[in-house]
């Protein structure tokens, strides 16, 4: 896991180095009159798709939804996808239900794009275009470099769809920020000792960083077996906030932007309730600090790298091998 985390700057640089050609290819497969976009994924890839929902809908000005694969594989739904772009995301490209559903979306009239680290996989064969992450082999069960690459891939799709609030120089800045985070894991080690042997933990974000909260919770569950739950700040207020007492660790993801005031208000509320708030942000005194200066929509990458570091060091603190968590496998063959 640690070795694959360290490869993320190079993976990002290689993927963004193909930016012009990838945007051209994506543009070439878009429906002539785009009605909407549907995203298809499971696991970590599903959390990348949550990010995709935000950036693609903002760029395209069209509705973007997350597909429910079971509607097709279990209930036999027949859906008209004419005018839609279907984007399937899978590290391995071999999850049977994702392949099957993409094939059905294509039969229903969708133009199909696969984001995968295995371009010659069944998923790649089912798509009109493959966006190859080209991240190299990922052997650890917890996805790290492929998740970051999926986030970058969605941002590149957004560039093909419309105006975006970042430019070419921001991609180089993103790679540099990830290098800075990887170069100092002291904050993650410190927070791992604070969390210690806690049995539960909450992660929270809003807007663009909601996906980071979801993925961080999964990484912590996978690597440490802690009961970690990811929420948007809005959903946390609708009942679950009742558990945020007695020193419960809460990892909060914050970036400058429209969601920041709500997150600050929530952090103050949680602190008053007795939760232990640990922020991932570029603010002075952050528990898990980030470099400043990136557009909000790209902050998710260095933020999730901080979460990966935390998962790694919390696993080590608990005497667990983060590369091979008990009961898990790299490829999950759901139907």
- This prediction's pTM: 0.96
pLDDT of the residue at 329: 55
Q: Are residues 139 and 218 in the same domain?
A: no
User: 3-state DSSP call for residue 256?
Assistant: coil
31 in a domain, yes or no?
yes
Query: What is the edge-to-edge ordering of all strands in the sheet holding 84-90?
Result: 64-66, 36-40, 84-90, 111-116, 129-132
Structural domain total, the chain: 2
Beta strands in 217-274 (DSSP E): 227-232, 249-253
Which of 144, 164, 184 finishes a domain? 164
Q: Are residues 39 and 155 in the same domain?
A: yes
Q: Are residues 151 and 223 in the same domain?
A: no
Q: Are residues 179 and 215 in the same domain?
A: yes
329 in a domain, yes or no?
no
User: Which residue range(s) make up the domain with 124?
Assistant: 2-164
Q: Do 116 and 130 meet the contact criterion of CB atoms below 8 Å apart?
A: yes
Q: Are residues 104 and 245 in the same domain?
A: no
29 in a domain, yes or no?
yes
Q: Are residues 115 and 16 in the same domain?
A: yes
328 in a domain, yes or no?
no
Q: Are residues 231 and 269 in the same domain?
A: yes
Q: How far apart are CA 85 and CA 157, in angstroms?
A: 11
pLDDT in tens, 30-74: 999 999 999 999 999 999 999 999 999 999 999 999 999 999 999
Which of 129, 164, 199 finishes a domain? 164
322 in a domain, yes or no?
no
Q: Name the catalytic one among 106, 145, 221, 330.
A: 330
Q: Are residues 240 and 286 in the same domain?
A: yes
332 in a domain, yes or no?
no
Q: Are residues 149 and 183 in the same domain?
A: no
Contacts of 168 (CB under 8 A, 6+ apart): 19
Q: Are residues 116 and 192 in the same domain?
A: no
pLDDT in tens, 177-207: 999 999 999 999 999 999 999 999 999 999 9
- Element holding 40 (H helix, E strand): strand 36-40
pLDDT of the residue at 327: 61
Which of 119, 145, 164 finishes a domain? 164
CATH number, domain containing residue 311: 3.40.50.10490
Known catalytic membership, residue 221: no
Q: Are residues 13 and 151 in the same domain?
A: yes
Q: Are residues 179 and 158 in the same domain?
A: no
Q: Which two tokens stand for residue 182?
A: 């990887």
**pLDDT tens by residue, the chain, 335 residues:** 999 999 999 999 999 999 999 999 999 999 999 999 999 999 999 999 999 999 999 999 999 999 999 999 999 999 999 999 999 999 999 999 999 999 999 999 999 999 999 999 999 999 999 999 999 999 998 999 999 999 999 999 999 999 999 999 999 999 999 999 999 999 999 999 999 999 999 999 999 999 999 999 999 999 999 999 999 999 999 999 998 899 999 999 999 999 999 999 999 999 999 999 999 999 999 999 999 999 999 999 999 999 999 999 999 999 999 887 766 655 555 65
334 in a domain, yes or no?
no
272 in a domain, yes or no?
yes
């Amino acid at each position: 896991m640690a070795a694959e985390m360290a490869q993320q700057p190079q993976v990002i640089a290689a993927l963004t180095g193909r930016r012009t050609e990838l945007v051209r290819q994506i543009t070439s497969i878009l429906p002539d009159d785009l009605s909407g976009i549907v995203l298809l994924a499971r696991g970590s890839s599903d959390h990348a798709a949550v990010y995709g929902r935000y950036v693609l809908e903002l760029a395209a000005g069209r509705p973007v939804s997350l597909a429910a694969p079971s509607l097709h594989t279990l209930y036999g739904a027949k859906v008209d996808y004419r005018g839609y772009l279907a984007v399937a995301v899978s590290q391995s490209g071999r999850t049977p239900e994702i392949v099957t559903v993409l094939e059905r979306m294509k039969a229903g009239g969708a133009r199909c794009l696969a984001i995968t680290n295995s371009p010659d996989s069944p998923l790649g064969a089912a798509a009109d275009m493959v966006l190859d992450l080209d991240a190299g082999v990922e052997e650890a069960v917890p996805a790290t470099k492929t998740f970051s690459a999926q986030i970058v891939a969605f941002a590149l799709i957004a560039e093909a769809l419309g105006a975006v609030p970042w430019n070419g120089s921001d991609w180089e800045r993103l790679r540099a920020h990830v290098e800075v985070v990887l170069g100092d894991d002291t904050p993650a080690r410190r927070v791992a000792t604070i969390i210690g042997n806690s049995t539960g933990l909450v992660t929270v974000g809003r807007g663009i960083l909601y996906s980071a909260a979801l993925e961080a919770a999964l990484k912590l569950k996978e690597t440490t077996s802690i009961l970690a739950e990811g929420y948007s700040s809005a959903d946390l207020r609708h009942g679950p906030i009742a558990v945020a007492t007695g020193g419960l660790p809460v990892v909060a993801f914050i970036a400058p932007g429209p969601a920041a005031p709500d997150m600050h208000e929530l952090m103050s509320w949680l602190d008053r309730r007795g939760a232990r708030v640990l922020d991932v942000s570029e603010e002075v005194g952050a528990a898990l600090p980030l470099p400043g200066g990136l557009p909000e929509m790209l902050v998710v990458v260095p933020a999730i790298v901080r979460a990966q570091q935390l998962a790694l060091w919390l696993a080590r603190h608990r005497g667990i091998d983060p590369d091979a968590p008990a009961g898990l496998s790299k490829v999950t063959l759901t139907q």
